[in-house]
Structure 1
């Protein structure tokens, strides 16, 4: 035990538990055939995650012939490594969406994700799927007094949009909090048990799942032609449900996507885990939920996220997460550890719909911001309606061709939220700006690119510094170098109106 604790604190840290997703470890692998040659269907779907499998399931239920094309095995990518929260509570998002997009589009986002919860439950009940589905309240809690007002603003915004939100002062966690947004009528499940059941419903009667079949390119027209390493699929419509789209057209939004890593520990604790799913309002993000496991309970501690390729050594992220978990619970064992990579969009809203306005038969769904269980299901519902020629009330907010520029009003509102002696990185017309307000309320606006190798700095609230996550350079709140390897201070960057 002493050796283990020493390892955790030093450079000899040993990653705890099996290096495997719990969802993958507790379900059998799939074994669907490869594409046997050239075929034709009404809809071809590239990617076998939650969007691809749910879209294929819904389209088949509507009488449409489909083929899912997966380069590896289905439900093995991001969907197989998720936290598997089924929730419309996506951290503190609704107050910001109202400010930036207006109430109408914010309401589309809210309604689509709440409807996705209901759709998953309907499918689970109607097809009698054993997937550990359970209703749970979801909480975003403030772990500092500085976030308390943001919690209250989010409660008002969410309630204004018709979501089941309330303020909860007594968060059932074993440490001090400063209030939370509580959403009722949320849920959790075992994602592979659920989606493997849907996959079994897809296969047959003119519908197919092809594994170990890599899509190589898409040619537009009627029909759309999908070239693979096993043959050609011709279809009236194609959905790209891959992590990143394999085909990008000029004018697309994919340059505004980026990757984000986060880490998961599956652990058993001495305490009884409270009823609910939890995430904090601050950085670094920390998420908790439980999962029935072999007659007992596994607790999933998730967090330490960072842009892909822009973090600390992997073992440090796991060590930080484990130290945090052990600081709040008596951890009996850590059985699993795994990481996951999500696609993020610059405006924090997924990209769902026609590839470009003139792509009548080509669709895309990506950028789910770590909330893929509901947004992925909503994407399948939107794309199914569009392909079937039905109106869908949520298409506008997710339109791939939408402008993703943040409005000047939203930027000024964001700046106005910065308290004296606080900093924040904001975005202005697709450019990032590091903003610091000194104790006399004087604003300092800086280029957040570290002068060492260009990584973006982040605000360190405890030390009141700008810290580079790549190589450790640090700057004062006003941008002067205080720690190498950088030798020059951050450059001033004026905000133009």
Structure 2
């Protein structure tokens, strides 16, 4: 892959969006109707809907707005979620599948209207979404999905021809879907929130929640710690930083790699494509200023902390792309992280069975754009006392679905238990500090304690505790992304120990070698 790389950047969305107006950290106490924790697609969509309904809103973001998970998405806005409708038809019945389709299509339509209302050029393009297969063994699966999606109300059909430059045996095609530039869109939404009187605060990490009437949040910013008082609180941090209903037992994190390369418009597919074959492959394109299209290829999913040599995974993805699209010069690469719920339906609604004023949005399963927009609509309806037809479908308090999806639930718990318990057992051998090459990292034993040690390109060692500050699982090093990752719940840390991604709220403590 080295010979194919030019000047490789990180996320294309972060690299090409305008910087936006910086949002100041919270510096003193604040009282609002609703406090939204997290400024990604779900958090900003919720704040926008509430501000439009006349509520006073504050958005609190630990880093930069629209720069975390949303800033690393592939930005498909689609109700066609691989093979979800045949699954829902079997587990939730036809009515459940219909509600899912209606809620996702409603979100897509509303997002298009919002972009037009805000007057933002976010490269919104209507197109068709496809789930395809190259292996004939999967055609029956695709036919069943096309039938189930049609029954659910989507404009779905089974086809054998696509505009991909390689043959497929079949595909489910759903018209009327969309793709866009997510950060350009969300920066405009953030400006709209401010115009309506809402406030947005970056580098303001929420570390405490006291539920009551009103609720109280503890917020840590570079200047000081302070409080936010709010009648309602929405936790939209991708993976919930407050987990009072044990939602972490129903969420399984995964990462996927993304590569981009410019291609001539004449040979660029205009549809959005995904297959579950070959450890997932997803393809779409975006417009470039010079008239070409940007090919965006995604795949090689793995659980954080268990990906092995991630550089090799990038190589495999690059080889797959060049094999199917010809010579490519890759310009950007990054990774995205998603949380799958054990019953394949997002968790959007009350934070736990006893909550009256606290809400959560999580478990989007790789379809965070349409589901995040849907969550904003659903939560604003709940908070303002309006009925939403699909509230029950997404309600995190649902128990029957956990029973129905017992196998997935138990498998996830077994994987977590394997790390949680296995990481505490003594090992007969392991790497030493001397084995760590420049740019790499490993967990080594130092004076009986497991330490996460990284050697930078200059040979300097950086040592941290190897136990995740969330629940104590042992982290692993991702060399391609220079990050420590927790295999239990997906927390990620920089080589200096800072939190990159939750649910962990505290950094990994430094250690002396």
Q: TM-score range by the shorter chain?
A: 0.7 to 0.9
Mark the CA change 1:319 to 1:41 in structure 2 (over 3 Å): closer, same or farther: same
> 2:450 maps to what in 1?
none
Mark the CA change 1:428 to 1:298 in structure 2 (over 3 Å): closer, same or farther: closer
Match of 2:318 among 319, 322, 341: 322
Mark the CA change 1:428 to 1:382 in structure 2 (over 3 Å): closer, same or farther: closer
> 1:372 maps to what in 2?
368
Provide the TM-score with structure 1 as the length reference: 0.79
Match of 1:383 among 376, 379, 393: 379
> 1:193 maps to what in 2?
184
> 1:89 maps to what in 2?
80
How many residue pairs were aligned? Answer: 411
8 Å contact from structure 2 (residues 249, 409) kept in 1: no
> 2:251 maps to what in 1?
257
8 Å contact from structure 2 (residues 77, 179) kept in 1: yes
> 1:231 maps to what in 2?
226
Matches within 5 A, 1:133-282: 133-204=124-195, 206-229=197-220, 230-249=225-244, 251-270=245-264, 272-282=267-277
SS in 2 for 1:311: coil
8 Å contact from structure 1 (residues 92, 281) kept in 2: no
> 1:23 maps to what in 2?
13
CA distance in 2, matches of 1:269, 1:367: 33
> 2:121 maps to what in 1?
130
SS in 2 for 1:236: strand
CA distance in 1, matches of 2:195, 2:255: 36
8 Å contact from structure 1 (residues 173, 274) kept in 2: yes
8 Å contact from structure 1 (residues 268, 297) kept in 2: yes
Q: CA deviation at 1:317?
A: 1.1
Q: CA deviation at 1:100?
A: 1.1
Q: CA deviation at 1:342?
A: 1.2
Match of 2:308 among 303, 306, 312: 312
CA distance in 2, matches of 1:244, 1:15: 33
> 1:42 maps to what in 2?
33
SS in 2 for 1:110: helix
8 Å contact from structure 2 (residues 128, 271) kept in 1: yes
Mark the CA change 1:428 to 1:380 in structure 2 (over 3 Å): closer, same or farther: closer
> 1:118 maps to what in 2?
109
Q: CA deviation at 1:28?
A: 2.8
CA distance in 1, matches of 2:256, 2:408: 26
Q: CA deviation at 1:248?
A: 1.4
Instruction: After superposition, give the CA deviation of every residue in 1:92-129 in whole Å (9 maximum; x if it has no partner).
Output: 11001110121222221111111111011111122221
| Structure 1 residue ranges without an equivalent (≥5) | 9-13, 412-426, 435-448, 455-497
> 1:491 maps to what in 2?
none
Query: RMSD of the TM alignment (CA)?
Result: 2.2
Instruction: After superposition, give the CA deviation of every residue in 1:384-433 in whole Å (9 maximum; x if it has no partner).
Output: 000000000111111111124353xx89xxxxxxxxxxxxxxx2662479
CA distance in 2, matches of 1:231, 1:52: 21
Q: CA deviation at 1:15?
A: 6.8
CA distance in 2, matches of 1:41, 1:348: 34
SS in 1 for 2:329: strand
Q: CA deviation at 1:345?
A: 1.3
Match of 1:405 among 402, 410, 425: 402
8 Å contact from structure 1 (residues 88, 113) kept in 2: yes
8 Å contact from structure 2 (residues 214, 231) kept in 1: yes
CA distance in 1, matches of 2:89, 2:27: 49
8 Å contact from structure 1 (residues 143, 281) kept in 2: no
8 Å contact from structure 2 (residues 52, 196) kept in 1: no
| Structure 2 residue ranges without an equivalent (≥5) | 424-513
SS in 2 for 1:117: helix
Mark the CA change 1:388 to 1:428 in structure 2 (over 3 Å): closer, same or farther: closer
CA distance in 2, matches of 1:75, 1:432: 29
8 Å contact from structure 1 (residues 289, 301) kept in 2: yes
Instruction: After superposition, give the CA deviation of every residue in 1:266-300 in whole Å (9 maximum; x if it has no partner).
Output: 11235621221111142411000001122221100
Q: CA deviation at 1:256?
A: 1.3
Mark the CA change 1:292 to 1:205 in structure 2 (over 3 Å): closer, same or farther: closer
8 Å contact from structure 2 (residues 128, 174) kept in 1: yes
8 Å contact from structure 2 (residues 364, 371) kept in 1: yes
> 1:457 maps to what in 2?
none
Q: CA deviation at 1:22?
A: 0.4
Is 1:393 the counterpart of 2:379? The answer is: no
Range with greater deviation from structure 2 (356-365 or 97-106): 97-106
Provide the TM-score with structure 2 as the length reference: 0.76
8 Å contact from structure 1 (residues 406, 430) kept in 2: no
> 2:96 maps to what in 1?
105
Q: CA deviation at 1:207?
A: 1.5
SS in 1 for 2:109: helix
> 2:410 maps to what in 1?
430
